Amino acid sequence: MSTLEKNAWRLPTPGVEGWTRTARPDDPNKYFMVSADCHVTESLEFLALVEGDYGDRLPHMEVRADGAEFLITEGNRPQMVKPPKGATVQEQQTFERPEHNRDSKSRMEDEDLLRVASGRTVEQRLVDQAADGVDVEIVFPTAGLLCWATPDPQFAMQMCAGWNRWVVDQMGPYMGGDPKMLPMALIAAGDQEGAMREIEWAVARGFRGVCLGNSPTYGPTEPGKLQYNDPSFESMWSLLEETGLVITFHVSTGKDPRSVGGRGGAIINYVCHSMETTIEPLVQLITAGVFERHPRLQAGLVESGIGFVPWLLETMDHAYRAHHFWVRPVIPELPSSYFRRNCFATYQEDTVGLRFVEELDLVDNMLWANDYPHHEGVWPHSAASIERSMGHLTDQSRAKILGLNAARIFGLQVPEGK
């Protein structure tokens, strides 16, 4: 198999004829580029910084008698990371080729393996991002997403705090001044007292944003369960507004993102249990009047794409009008107005989402990301991806989406002339 057979779709570009500047790293007039969603490739080492004796409650690996390895957490079903020797995950289908019946890692091409091996040190990140044209990166966890994977919000907050201290140890020198890396402080909002303390700690350490789980307490939405529209969160919204910290909601948090096993599970879980989970918390903030009461708050959806945003705005506005007799509180403006003023969404490759951003007045709300180094992202071929999807936009729109919007939201200094 060619080392680019399965990744060849990442390479084509229509070129940059008519562009006055580009996203190519060797362009002396390159756009100022902020990747609004990147990841560390950390092991579970950060758990050593979790205060308290939680023992086997902490996420850990379990090797079973048949040689299979599973990742164990309190809130997710066991995740197989290595199948039993000589076994396959599920039955071979008649329409599949023999190669499809191999362990996932053995099906990876060289470029897939490169992504697995990247993002492990700050030195490597600086080199890789510069080669991809990225000036600043907003950073989220990988293994650290497991911090929320427990129905115990106090335990979740302790794990979040451990990751926050670990990432400061790793990236602290690159967070201040003219930063290159801006990790988001992880917050388990269900532990409301612990969350307030951690937000204050994060401000003092130079964080510019927080990442809240997509549900205050991990697990499915149920009647009576604490949600972000609850009045008890008012003090947290006030603190975030006062400090200027940006709120982010990242995919694969809030509930088990691998809920479905068996046939089609990889795509089912990605589409239905990972990507869509960012929608509900933002709709709660908008429709509960959080942005009306706290107009300086900024909140965004990370890695879930932007193609759904026009539908989301239209649907919220339709419900606001059609269900006027049920709606409480009656926010003074349409829900879509608050999204345009207070919210944003990030994407990696979303041609459909970009098609009408100018026509729908959503340019100021969209942030590009290369999702370094994850497989869903466009690294290390960001320029080609940008050229495939942004050729129809004006130079000003491209500049905003590629970096200027993120600079405005996260308080970054933009080089003169960019």
Model confidence over 101-151: pLDDT tens digits?
666 767 788 898 899 999 999 999 999 999 999 999 999 999 999 999 999
State the helix-helix crossing angle for 335-342 and 279-287, rounded to 10 degrees: 110
- Token pair in block for residue 114: 């490169």
Cα-based angle 415, 417, 418 (whole degrees, multiple of 5): 65
Residue 358 has pLDDT above 90, yes or no: yes
pLDDT in the model for residue 96:
65
Q: In this structure, is residue 334 part of a structural domain? A: yes
Residue 203 has pLDDT above 70, yes or no: yes
Distance CA 372, CA 350 (A): 16
Q: Tell me: the pLDDT tens digits for 9-47? A: 999 999 999 999 999 999 999 999 999 999 999 999 999
Cis peptide bond prior to 380, omega within 30° of 0:
yes
pLDDT in the model for residue 88:
65
pLDDT in the model for residue 2:
45
Q: Tell me: the pLDDT tens digits for 222-251? A: 999 999 999 999 999 999 999 999 999 999
Please give the model's pTM, rounded to 2 decimal places.
0.94
Q: Tell me: the pLDDT tens digits for 305-345? A: 999 999 999 999 999 999 999 999 999 999 999 999 999 99
Query: Exposed, middle or buried: residue 328 (CB in 10 Å: 0-12, 13-18, 19+)?
Result: exposed
Q: CA dist 218 to 87, 360, 379, Å?
A: 32, 35, 31
Q: In this structure, is residue 96 part of a structural domain? A: no
Give which of 10, 4, 77, 39 is closest to 384, Cα–Cα. 10
Q: In this structure, is residue 230 part of a structural domain? A: yes
Give the structural domain span for 268: 31-58+120-410
The number of domains in the chain is 1
* DSSP β-ladder status, 69-72 and 79-82: antiparallel
Q: In this structure, is residue 142 part of a structural domain? A: yes
Residue 1 has pLDDT above 50, yes or no: no
Distance CA 158, CA 384 (A): 41
What is the distance, to the nearest Å, from the Cα of residue 3 to the centroid of all Cα atoms in its chain?
A: 28
Residue 129: CATH number of its domain: 3.20.20.140
Residue 294 has pLDDT above 60, yes or no: yes
Residue 80 has pLDDT above 70, yes or no: yes
Q: In this structure, is residue 110 part of a structural domain? A: no
Q: In this structure, is residue 112 part of a structural domain? A: no
Residue 93 has pLDDT above 90, yes or no: no
Q: In this structure, is residue 82 part of a structural domain? A: no
DSSP three-state, residue 383: helix
Q: In this structure, is residue 43 part of a structural domain? A: yes
Q: CA dist 268 to 239, 258, 260, 399, Å?
A: 37, 9, 7, 34
Mean pLDDT value of segment 398-412: 98
